[in-house]
Structure 1
Amino acid sequence: MFRQELCVGCSACVSACTAGAIALRDGAAHTGREVCTACGECVESCLAQARAIAGETWTLDRLLGEVEKDVLFYDESGGGVTLSGGEPLAQATFAASLLGACQ
């Protein structure tokens, strides 16, 4: 997450980013999400606390473990796993793997 109103334009995050995902434009840092590896180096370097990592990375096995906790509910209700909102589209490959593993 990036809070532009807190950014002082010091470019510490630009220097800290080993992926080269951050550039300073118009006095504020901008992150190229397609390049960002979510390593957190920019967060650690930001003295203004304008950056934070939101969410966490899950493996397919970890998520399947959570899904399997509700297998009795799925069996009794005839329901299943539903993915909704924009997040699945942002992680389409992972979402497809999850749904394939749930079958």
Structure 2
Amino acid sequence: MEDVKDEPEYWSTRIYDAGKGKELDSALYDKGSLMMHALRRTVGDRDFFAILKRWTRDNAYSNASWLQFERLAAEVSGKDLKGFFDAWAHGTKVPPDTYLYPGDLAELKR
């Protein structure tokens, strides 16, 4: 992550609604996996895996939206994740360190 932290173009692609022509942008795959890891560190393993299990169970054989995922994550974790998802999924800049290095990841950064 440190190799792209200071690259504005990398962060300019939104994970949520990337825009026409950016549906397969490589940043979506990288940022998406980084965001999911940060979400895991933010809500903890138990809630993270409960979110994934419930998501797949509740949406099997159907369609669902990203905003539904955000609501489910907040519901299962009992946390206000608006700032997290605003920074990671809706933002076009590098997320603040609070969201970029959640939990004890902040210790690794030092």
TM-score by length of 1: 0.23
TM-score by length of 2: 0.22
Which structure has the bigger radius of gyration?
A: 1
By percentage of residues, which structure has more strand?
A: 1
